[in-house]
A and B are shown apart, each in its own frame.
Chain A
Amino acid sequence: MPVNAVADYDFPANDREENFHGARVIYAGWDKHLMFSSPYAWPLPPDLPFAHFLAGPLAEAFGQHPDFAKIDWSQAIWTKNGEAFSPDLDKTIAENGLIHKDSLRFETPGLDGIGGQFI
């Protein structure tokens, strides 16, 4: 339903990709690791290789967790906006089909947080 308003009501979306100086916003959260209260967001260059995303911004955000060093990325199960997703680590963000404001989640089989308690 459109907004009820006293005048024309037509404004552009505030978070269009063009407002991010060439980057696109990507979110990622680590399932079963609730030490991290929410997924995080990053402005990523579309030509950033996915492996560099994992080794850089993602590791910086999640690396403090003792499970992080044990992750076997070939076993990780990813979803994108709730649907199955298989990233090619050697390809870039754009080549992996990731678009602005995609939300990734990953699960790491065998790693269920500290004491297996999803922490």
Chain B
Amino acid sequence: MDMPAKPKKKLGLKERYAVMTRGLGWEPSYQDIDDIFSMDSFEGIKIHDWDAWEDPFRLTMDSYWKYQAEKERKLYAIIDAFAQSNGHLTVSDPRYINTVKMFVNGFAPLEYMSHRGFAHIGRQFRGVGPRVACMMQSLDEMRHAQTQVHAISNYNKYYSGMENFRHHHDYLPYLQVPKSFFEDAATGGPFEFITAIGFSFEYVLTNLVFVPFISGAAYNGDMGAMTFGFSAQSDEARHMTLGLEVIKFMLEQDPDNVPIVQKWLNKWTWRGVRVLTLVAMMQDYMLPKRVMSWAEAWEIYFEENCGALFRDLERYGIVMPPCVEQVRKERDHLSHMAWCQFYQARGTSNFHVWLPSEEDMDWLSQKYPDTFDQYYRPRFEEWRRMEEAGTPFETTGINMQCQVCQIPMFFTEPGDPTRLAQHHCHHEGEQYHFCSQWCQEIFEDEPEKYIQSAIAGHDVFKGKAIRPEADPTAEDFNPAAEALAFWKLENGRDNGLHYGSQDERNFSMWRGLASSNS
């Protein structure tokens, strides 16, 4: 048989894209398509034409590998250089390292959960276009988790609070806030998950996360963290576009989808902002060299950018989530309330805290002229007096927590910063408490889900914070010490005050050795 001598024509970009994305799908012949994709209809979202999906990126798998490999090479070269040149000693101030601890414990595991979530929905959507896009996002998220852990491992060699990040993410009380946020999303259906993570978190709120951490890293001389931020940035742009595309796709496919999408936007905007309380605090209190205040970031990234976005979605009948009114009222209080909480509950954290210095407080007064001096400065000054008197204020009590966001109930009434807010309801003979009207509404929409919340403080009371080898019936059994052991917190090393901590002392000693001969 003669072989044709003429080589095959190379595919054009458009054909190549078609073959390598939608061309990968097929019509099933011996299985019902509803059995194969059994999860993309139960949420009530109606899709009439999956082919109407416009892929915003037209990225194929082969070019995906190529791009990512290139970025990876650059990133790891910098991470290696950081390690070899003792980059951890070039950061602005040892306090900065606590933001790195919060990042690897609170955020990197969320990237991994996001990887799992997108892998799941990349299997569940019956449209080939969104499936391929979700698969790529799933790979991105896994890569982000890995590169973050690798970049931060340079700090883990020298400082405490990072070596148990997986265990801490699963059990340490404050980390149950981000963890339960993601579990809530991942236990919704595929459309709710992508609205929660792809849209509300990645699109609406992502800049409020990235600016403080990545610009914060850059401002504070952390080349390693800054580089993974830049390495992730082009992926984030793709994720944001995917999130927006999915929202528009749902809204365009059927008018019945509009109220469902609106409900999710309301819920996940609020859930997202509640989780960002940690970021607001980091931005205003934990960065030795600050980028901008939380209030300023909110104005730029939410009010301006997202305001325009919601105006754009108005043509589909979507309105700004009503909770935004309360977020605006809390804007000038959020970070202060959170730092007050972390300062006093410092025994159960895996990073160190400190009181703001005079200079810090002057910056805070300037950024928060209507709230800081009136409500928060006097508290810090009182605690300063107590520290100086040798009786530093610390609480060992277990906080009451919100049933939905799981944050200790430290939020004040919107409009009355002197009174803590509490909301309450009954469901099937049990009672539940909430930090806000919005968390309560989320509960009341799906009480069957939130009655299962694992509230960290309650778990201690139930005896769940006990190692298998411990004997709670022993005469000398100390439940508080046992809880720390169960959480893998080394008391006095991993937790407590920054000044005088082992990390602070080591940093100063090593930096001295690096910059002098004695």
Residues on A lying within 8 angstroms of B by beta carbon are 1-6, 9-16, 19-21, 23, 25, 27, 29, 31-32, 34-43, 60-61, 64, 81-82, 99-103, 105, 114-115, 117-119
B397: which of A12, A40, A115 is its contact (CB, 8 Å)?
Answer: A40
- The chain B residue sitting closest to A10, CB to CB, is B448
Residues of B within 8 A of A64 (CB): 391, 393
Listed from nearest, the 7 A-B pairs whose CB atoms lie closest are A40-B397, A43-B461, A61-B397, A13-B451, A37-B410, A37-B341, A39-B400
Tell whether A5 pairs with B42 under 8 Å between CB atoms, given A15-B455, A117-B378: yes
A114 to B384, CA, bound (A): 14
Tell me which residues from 396 to 411 in chain B have a Cβ below 8 Å from any Cβ of chain A.
396-401, 408-410
A-B CB contacts (within 8 Å), total count: 139
Residues of A within 8 A of B379 (CB): 34-35, 119
A23 to B340, CA, bound (A): 30
A25 to B391, CA, bound (A): 30
A95 to B378, CA, bound (A): 40
B424: which of A4, A103, A119 is its contact (CB, 8 Å)?
Answer: A103
Tell whether A31 pairs with B419 under 8 Å between CB atoms, given A15-B430, A37-B341: yes
Q: At the interface, yes or no: B255 with Cβ under 8 Å from chain A?
A: no
Inter-chain contact B458/A15, CB cutoff 8 Å: yes
- The chain A residue sitting closest to B44, CB to CB, is A4
Inter-chain contact B457/A41, CB cutoff 8 Å: yes
Residues of A within 8 A of B401 (CB): 41
Q: At the interface, yes or no: B382 with Cβ under 8 Å from chain A?
A: yes
- The chain B residue sitting closest to A13, CB to CB, is B451
Tell whether A4 pairs with B43 under 8 Å between CB atoms, given A21-B462, A31-B419: yes
Q: At the interface, yes or no: B506 with Cβ under 8 Å from chain A?
A: no
Cβ distance B222 to chain A, nearest Cβ, rounded Å = 30
Tell whether A39 pairs with B409 under 8 Å between CB atoms, given A20-B461, A101-B430: yes
Residues on B lying within 8 angstroms of A by beta carbon are 38-39, 42-44, 189, 337, 340-341, 344-345, 375, 378-379, 382-383, 391, 393, 395-401, 408-410, 412, 418-420, 422, 424, 427-428, 430-433, 445-446, 448-449, 451-455, 457-458, 461-463
A49 to B373, CA, bound (A): 42
A41 to B340, CA, bound (A): 18
Inter-chain contact B422/A32, CB cutoff 8 Å: no
A69 to B189, CA, bound (A): 53
Inter-chain contact B458/A25, CB cutoff 8 Å: yes
Could you list some 13 contacts between A and B, CB below 8 A?
A5-B42, A14-B455, A15-B458, A29-B422, A31-B419, A32-B418, A36-B344, A36-B395, A38-B408, A61-B396, A81-B424, A100-B430, A100-B431
Residues of A within 8 A of B451 (CB): 11-15
Residue from the set A2, A29, A101 with the largest chain B CB neighbour count within 10 Å: A101
Inter-chain contact B461/A11, CB cutoff 8 Å: no
Residues of B within 8 A of A32 (CB): 418
Inter-chain contact B449/A3, CB cutoff 8 Å: yes
Inter-chain contact A11/B462, CB cutoff 8 Å: no
A60 to B480, CA, bound (A): 14
Inter-chain contact A23/B445, CB cutoff 8 Å: no
A42: which of B38, B43, B398, B462 is its contact (CB, 8 Å)?
Answer: B398
Cβ distance A117 to chain B, nearest Cβ, rounded Å = 5
Residues of A within 8 A of B400 (CB): 27, 29, 38-41, 103
Tell whether A38 pairs with B410 under 8 Å between CB atoms, given A15-B430, A31-B419, A61-B395: yes
Inter-chain contact B453/A14, CB cutoff 8 Å: yes
Cβ distance B402 to chain A, nearest Cβ, rounded Å = 10
A105 to B445, CA, bound (A): 27
Tell whether A37 pairs with B340 under 8 Å between CB atoms, given A11-B448, A81-B431, A103-B433: yes
Cβ distance B4 to chain A, nearest Cβ, rounded Å = 51
Inter-chain contact A6/B431, CB cutoff 8 Å: no
Inter-chain contact B38/A35, CB cutoff 8 Å: no
Residues of A within 8 A of B337 (CB): 37
A74 to B363, CA, bound (A): 44
- The chain B residue sitting closest to A103, CB to CB, is B433
Inter-chain contact B431/A102, CB cutoff 8 Å: yes
